[in-house]
Amino acid sequence: MTVRVFVPSDTTALAMGADAVARELAALADRRGLDLELVRNGSRGLCWLEPLIEVETTGGRVAYGPVAAADLPALLDAGLLEGAQSHPLCQGLVEQIPYLACQQRLTFARIGVIDPLSIEQYRAHGGFAGLERALPMAPEAIVEEIKTSGLRGRGGAAFPTGIKWDTVRKAGEGQKYIVCNADEGDSGTFADRLVMECDPYMLIEGMTIAGLAVGATRGYIYLRSEYPLAQRNLNIAIERARAAAYLGDSVLGSGRAFHLEVRLGAGAYICGEETSMLESLEGRRGLVRAKPPLPALEGLFGLPTVVNNVLSLAAVPFILDRGAQAYADCGVGRSRGTLPVQLAGNVLRGGLVELAFGVTLRELMEDFGGGTRSGRPLRAVQVGGPLGAYLPAAQWDTPLDYEAFAEVGAVLGHGGVVLFDDTVDMGEQARFSMEFCAVESCGKCTPCRIGSTRGVEVIDRIRAGDRPEANLSLLDELCTTMVDGSLCAMGSMTPIPVQSVMKYFAEDLRPTDNRRR
Amino acid sequence: MTVPSATASDPVQAALDTWQNEPGALLPVLHAVQDSVGYIPREAIAAIADALRLTRAEVSGVISFYHHFRTTPPGRHTVEVCRAEACQAVGARQLEAHAKTRLGLDYHETGADGQFSLEPVYCLGNCACGPSIRIGGAVYGRVSEARFDELLTGLDTRALELR
Ligand SMILES: Cc1cc2nc3c(=O)[nH]c(=O)nc-3n(C[C@H](O)[C@H](O)[C@H](O)COP(=O)(O)O)c2cc1C
Ligand code: SF4
Ligand code: FES
């Protein structure tokens, strides 16, 4: 009987050598006359085990990882194809690995299970059921469903998705657009990438449902150019979806049109900001637009536009298929559903963790992450990307919940959690925040464009021992000016990580020779 | 649409033929040109501006705004080192310094022999397995200094054998 072996194919698995593993496995099978079928699945998001290969057995899929090509002969000898569990790389049944078993995967339920580009497998695992349910529904009923689910935008600002859709739905009759924000510029985040590389039909389905809900017949996925594999997979998936009438002039013969296209960014962080992204899509420099008008009313090419993050749109098929209540039943307070968290940086078990809101940061970092990769004590955690605060130990019991994070002056953002051990120089990190803003500012407002450059200089002076007290208060004032005088969150949030360092890691801002080492 | 892009001999014209009538054509055109030429040649700017009814200043402004676009030829191999926080947490700063010394280049530079270009990148989406670098199209994770040297040596020999 043919044995199916899965070798993942997402960027991280590839970066850790998955292609070499697949090639070697095929060569060995050939040489040894083994009857196996190699499937290139997506990734389960257990990044620290990549490449995590799986073997299908009657008892379930048995996992081995991290596997190097050189491990394969011994693994085969030890009974890999029978799912033998004696080899030290064996992780047991994949679904029972605690890291995976303890998650609540609503959005990422299919990820790593299937071949990302197979429509048949997508359907077999519940795909397109949400779209089929949405097609006969009235637009307001679809929007109502999203409102009831409590879904808030996962791209950073956490704005209620249903309310945004309703604004676009009510914005008259003509041409409207769905724009998917796939810029994922935050360091420490890769959940959008996983969706696009490993379950692209889910995003296509979510965007099509959004189109039905607001009366938009055209969608764009604005994808960062750093993600060429996502581009490839999305383009193939869009082509196949079109061929199977999930996209096109008449979606599944309904007479309702939806067309979808991928457009590439060009390495500018600010183009993740929605109005900058619209400028970029229109073919201009990504200068941020003043709001109002809201993109919902005057968005792409001046027309009503839904702008949503990949994860927001990817949550939609589940909500339509299983019902708003099933989604809303997860979570705490006004943070409903699940949050896909990405554990990154100096972490032992880095990867994707999808959980209902409410778990504490510490539980996440310890129970899932297993602490630091270096084995040294954890010192600081940056949550929410480069504009997010560095949290000291005293704040690690904060629950993952938009409001609870706001209370401690932090943000959840896109769910990126980056761990740093005690060798980190927090003065360096504060300096980098300013430097990043200087490199990536769109340049429209002075506090952000010039203030960030001055910020780097002031931090350098403080660290050089040049009138540290005076310069610290200057830095504080500069931060206030940036917060108050910036048009968008790039300039107004850059001070968040800097001020968190001033407040909680002040010793690292002392002159170099006084600093602890 | 006129000439299909695959048969057109002039990459700028090919890009324009494919995209000219699409809304928001400028970025896709610039991507197509850079993908086939390796950079955006000066001469292309005028042609693109004319075809899209933009000024040359507008086209140049867009090119200079985006970090991805370049106006000089890249080296034979482009080495991109991730500078962002998750990679910093596992030693990216030291790796950056090592890369600069090993290649004898600073960021945005190309060696006189045309072998390597060094570029910074802010996240490759491989943040759980950093430090990350990309050479050509391929991303590598958990890159130590030794692994970096190994990867470069592999490229150097291949380049020599090809000659
Ligand atoms: C500087 C900056 C960068 C941003 N980057 C992203 C991004 O990469 N992806 C994203 O979805 N949203 C990003 N946002 C938030 C978007 O402006 C916008 O709020 C979001 O795409 C809306 O979608 P949502 O409601 O589904 O979250 C960024 C915002 C700012 C100010
Ligand atoms: S705050 Fe910075 S990025 Fe935002 S609009 Fe102003 S200059 Fe541009
Ligand atoms: S921070 Fe380096 S790959 Fe994301």
Mean pLDDT for the stretch of residues B153-159: 68
Q: Hey, is the C-beta of B87 within 8 angstroms of any chain A C-beta?
A: yes
- pLDDT value of position B162: 44
Q: Hey, is the C-beta of A50 within 8 angstroms of any chain B C-beta?
A: yes
Mean pLDDT for the stretch of residues B100-108: 98
Give the tokens for residue A457. Answer: 């200089």
- Interface probe for A, chosen from B90, B108, B133 (most Cβ of A below 10 Å), is B90
Beta bridge partners of B20: none
| Binary contact (A286, B65; C-beta < 8 A) | yes
Contacts of A321 (CB under 8 A, 6+ apart): A126, A129, A130, A133
Give the tokens for residue A407. Answer: 């209370």
Identity of the residue numbered A163? I
Q: Hey, is the C-beta of A48 within 8 angstroms of any chain B C-beta?
A: yes
Between B94 and B1, the higher pLDDT residue: B94
Q: Which of B66, B69, B86 is nearest residue A418 as measured by Cβ atoms?
A: B86
| Binary contact (B125, A189; C-beta < 8 A) | yes
Q: What angle do CA B76, B81, B84 make, to 5 degrees?
A: 155
Q: Which of B26, B28, B89 is nearest residue A345 as measured by Cβ atoms?
A: B89
| Spans of all domains in chain A | 3-101, 119-328, 331-421, 426-514
A98 cis-preceded (ω within 30 degrees of 0): no
Phi, psi of A313 (to 5 degrees): -70, -30
Residue A489 Cα, ligand 1 centroid: separation in angstroms? 10
Residue A197 to residues A117, A244, A302, A416, A419, Cα–Cα distance (Å): 9, 20, 31, 18, 25
Does the pLDDT value for residue B5 go beyond 50? no
Distance CA(A446)–CA(A485), nearest Å, equals: 8
Give the tokens for residue B89. Answer: 């947490």
Asked if CATH classification 3.40.50.300 holds for the domain at A119-328, the reply, yes or no, is no
- Give all strands (DSSP E) within chain B, no chain letters: 77-82, 109-110, 116-121, 133-135, 138-140
3-state secondary structure at position A41 = coil
DSSP character string of A322-348:
H-HHHHHTSEETTEESEEEEEEEES-T
Residue A161 to residues A147, A165, A173, A212, Cα–Cα distance (Å): 7, 6, 20, 15
Binding-site residues of B, please? 82, 87, 123, 127
Beta bridge partners of B38: none
Phi, psi of A223 (to 5 degrees): -110, 135
Return per-residue pLDDT of chain A as tens, 517 residues.
Answer: 899 999 999 999 999 999 999 999 999 999 999 999 999 999 999 999 999 999 999 999 999 999 999 999 999 999 999 999 999 999 999 999 999 999 999 999 999 999 999 999 999 999 999 999 999 999 999 999 999 999 999 999 999 999 999 999 999 999 999 999 999 999 999 999 999 999 999 999 999 999 999 999 999 999 999 999 999 999 999 999 999 999 999 999 999 999 999 999 999 999 999 999 999 999 999 999 999 999 999 999 999 999 999 999 999 999 999 999 999 999 999 999 999 999 999 999 999 999 999 999 999 999 999 999 999 999 999 999 999 999 999 999 999 999 999 999 999 999 999 999 999 999 999 999 999 999 999 999 999 999 999 999 999 999 999 999 999 999 999 999 999 999 999 999 999 999 999 999 999 998 765 554 4
Residue A502 to residues A381, B95, B163, Cα–Cα distance (Å): 15, 27, 55
Fold of A426-514: de novo design (two linked rop proteins) (1.20.1440)
Architecture of domain B77-153: 3-Layer(aba) Sandwich (3.40)
**Minimum Cα–Cα distance from B59: chain A residue:** A284
User: Using an 8 Å Cβ cutoff, are A417 and A348 in contact?
Assistant: no
- Interface probe for B, chosen from A189, A221, A287, A418 (most Cβ of B below 10 Å), is A418
- pLDDT value of position B9: 77
Q: Hey, is the C-beta of B128 within 8 angstroms of any chain A C-beta?
A: yes
DSSP B3: S
- pLDDT value of position A344: 98
pTM given for the model: 0.96
Distance CA(B70)–CA(B117), nearest Å, equals: 12
A contact residues 396-435, partner B, Cβ 8 Å cutoff: 416, 418-421, 424, 428-429, 432
Does the pLDDT value for residue B157 go beyond 80? no
Please report which helix (H) or strand (E) contains residue A259, including its range: strand A259-264
**Minimum Cα–Cα distance from B82: chain A residue:** A187
Phi, psi of A65 (to 5 degrees): -175, 160
Around ligand 2, the residues with Cβ closer than 6 Å are A 270, 288, 441-445, 448-449, 486-488, 490-491
Contacts of A332 (CB under 8 A, 6+ apart): A356, A357, A358, A399, A401
Q: Nearest residue CA, atom 20 of ligand 1?
A: A155
Homologous superfamily in CATH for domain A3-101? Glutaredoxin (3.40.30.10)
Distance CA(A183)–CA(B54), nearest Å, equals: 26
Binding-site residues of B for [2Fe-2S] cluster, please? 82, 87, 123, 127
A301 CB-side CA count, 13 A: 13
Distance from CA of B11 to the nearest CA of A (A): 19
Domain A331-421 sits in CATH at: 3.10.20.600
Chain centroid to Cα A503, Å, comes to 29
Q: Hey, is the C-beta of B25 within 8 angstroms of any chain A C-beta?
A: yes
- pLDDT value of position A296: 98
What ipTM describes this predicted complex? 0.96
